[in-house]
Structure formats: structure tokens, C-alpha cells
């Protein structure tokens, strides 16, 4: 997402393609995009970048937004809309199939059974391989899974957003569904490079998020200090600790850190070499229990799109 939208000025297309291909060369096999990223431009960049490696990688994208004149006009997961936008995604991605197809947000005006039924048809036609959901609640997951097996749920999960541990993770484990945490670095906050004095340009959507208010950033600094302290002990970076923590939770959890430069790509990939012991994880757990995170993660209008 960050290559094309939401985090300031979009990257130069050639450099974005360079980053994606560098990731392939370093062994990355899962690439995540969405129709709404840009909108549309990110799917096109991903499609061009991965075309030479299409058989070696898994491409995930998402449907479910109504896009008018290049702007989001709310949700739309009607079956006819899903079918049309699927054809558009296939064209932009330069492929004949989507490996993992997520409903981007649960549409309260369309039954999840109808959504799952449409994706099931697309799978039968060979245009989609696997069905996913994003930011879906437990009952929605169960209802969708009853129509067609859900392969993965993508939702936010990190050291500073642990709500999925309450009901989502036990449900996924019960049903055999994988979990793909987005924003595993807390939209950059867990790297230690953001503090109360950091400013965001208008095109960086973090300036709209309550959790990124200056006062909340200051209040949440205790979490960053914890991550930094552990990183110093392990002689790695805070980002690598945050990613390693997620990788150590469950073998079926696959975080998807975004990046806009090659240096950070290398840093993120280094997380797989960081070994957090059971004692390390226990110590982190105890420390986290004493930290209260301040600020909502979304503004009110965006929060209304989260299925609970």
C-alpha cells in the first residue's frame, strides 16, 4: 500500500518495481495489494513487477470498495460488483488468477453468504485460488467459512494492537484459518523512529489517526522503550523485535510489513533470524501487561467499517 498511497508522496514507479523485485530475489513469496490502493495504481505496479516471477509468488488482492472517479465511495460487495472488479484486477495484475482474494471490509448491506458464494464461483472458474476476509468478526468468519473455506484473515495485529488475541485467534485456530497481520510495525511507531515531535504531511493518513495524536504518541512511548530495550539486548533493531514477536506467536501467523526503501526491506527480512526464546516471550508478555495503550486506532468514520 505504502508504495502507492497513504504514506506521503507515492514512490517513483520504477523504484517501486525495483523494491518488489528485490524482495523476490531475497526469497519473499507473498505480495499483498488491493483495488483501493491508489486506487488501482498499486495493483498495476505489482502486476508489472511480478510478471517475470508469476509462477514463483503468491499474489493477494482485495475487493469490496465502491470507487468513483478515483475516490472511495464506500463499500460495495454485491456479487455483480465483485465479478466485474475481479476482471479489472486480473487485467491490472497481468495474471489469469488471484491466489488469495480478500473481502477488504465486511459490507453490512450484503450478506456474507452471498459474498462467499460469489468467491466460491470464481474459485470454481479458476480465476481465484483462495478466499480471504479482512477485519471480519468471529460470527462473520464462521458464516463465510460455512459456505466456502476461508484460507486467511487479514487484520491489524502487533505489539500495540492485541485485540485479535481475545476472540479472533482462538477462532482461527479452531477452524484452521491462517492469520495475516497488517501494520505489524504499528504503522512505523514500533520502529522507534516516530515520537511526539514527528510531523506528518497531509497525504500521510497517520495524521488522521487518533493514536498518532502527539499526546497519544507521548503516552505510548513506554511501549517503544520496551521494544528498544529488548532490541539492544539482542543487538538487533526494534522493528526486528516487533516482527519476531509476531512470528513467534503461532506458525500460521504471517505478518506483512510494508516498506518504501531497500534498507528497510533488508531490515524486515532480518527478523526471521532473530530468535526470541520462550523466556523472552514470557518477559515481553509480562511487560506488556503493565502498559496501557492510549488512543483509538481509527477515526470514527473508518472505525464504522470494522466488523465486530
Q: Which residues are catalytic?
A: 37
SS3 178: strand
Question: Which residue is it, cell 492485541?
Answer: 162
DSSP letter string over 48-106? HHHGGGGGGSEEEEEE-EEEETTEEEEE---HHHHHHHHHHHHHHHTSS-EEEEEESS-
| Total length of the chain | 308
Among 88, 84, 174, 177, smallest CA distance to 136 is for 177
Query: Residue 288, CB half-sphere, CA atoms under 13 Å: how many?
Result: 15
Whole-number Cα distances in Å, 68 to 10, 103, 156, 170: 20, 18, 26, 38
Whole-number Å distance between alpha carbons of 262 and 265:
5
Question: What are 147's three cell numbers?
Answer: 459456505
User: How, if at all, do strands 71-75 and 65-68 pair?
Assistant: antiparallel
Amino acid at each position: 500500500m505504502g508504495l502507492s498511497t497513504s504514506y506521503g508522496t507515492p514512490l517513483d514507479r520504477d523504484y517501486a518495481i525495483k523494491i518488489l523485485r528485490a524482495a523476490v530475489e531475497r526469497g519473499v513469496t507473498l505480495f499483498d495489494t488491493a483495488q483501493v490502493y491508489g486506487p488501482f495504481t498499486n495493483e498495476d505496479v505489482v502486476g508489472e513487477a511480478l510478471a517475470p516471477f508469476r509462477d514463483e509468488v503468491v499474489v493477494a488482492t482485495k475487493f469490496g470498495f465502491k470507487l468513483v472517479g478515483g475516490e472511495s465511495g464506500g463499500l460495495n460487495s454485491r456479487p455483480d460488483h465483485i465479478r466485474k472488479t475481479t476482471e479489472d484486477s486480473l487485467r491490472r495484475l497481468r495474471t489469469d488468477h488471484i491466489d488469495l482474494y480478500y473481502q477488504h471490509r465486511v459490507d453490512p448491506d450484503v450478506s456474507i453468504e452471498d459474498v462467499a458464494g460469489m468467491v466460491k464461483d470464481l474459485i470454481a472458474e479458476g480465476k481465484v485460488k483462495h478466499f480471504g476476509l479482512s477485519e471480519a468478526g468471529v460470527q462473520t468468519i464462521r458464516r463465510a467459512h460455512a459456505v466456502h473455506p476461508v484460507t486467511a484473515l487479514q487484520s491489524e495485529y502487533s505489539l500495540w494492537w492485541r485485540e485479535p488475541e481475545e476472540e479472533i485467534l482462538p477462532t482461527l485456530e479452531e477452524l484452521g484459518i491462517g492469520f495475516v497481520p497488517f501494520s505489524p510495525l504499528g504503522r512505523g511507531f514500533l520502529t522507534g523512529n516516530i515520537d511526539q515531535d514527528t510531523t506528518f504531511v497531509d497525504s500521510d493518513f497517520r495524521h488522521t489517526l487518533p493514536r498518532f495524536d502527539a499526546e497519544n504518541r507521548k503516552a505510548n512511548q513506554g511501549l517503544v522503550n520496551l521494544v528498544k530495550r529488548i532490541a539492544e539486548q539482542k543487538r538487533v533493531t526494534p522493528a526486528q523485535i516487533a516482527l519476531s514477536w509476531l512470528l513467534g506467536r503461532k506458525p500460521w501467523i504471517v505478518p506483512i510489513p510494508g516498506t518504501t526503501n531497500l534498507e528497510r526491506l533488508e531490515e524486515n527480512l532480518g527478523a526471521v533470524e532473530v530468535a526470541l526464546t520462550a523466556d523472552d516471550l514470557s518477559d515481553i508478555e509480562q511487560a506488556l501487561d503493565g502498559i496501557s495503550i492510549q488512543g483509538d486506532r481509527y477515526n470514527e468514520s473508518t472505525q464504522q467499517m470494522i466488523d465486530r
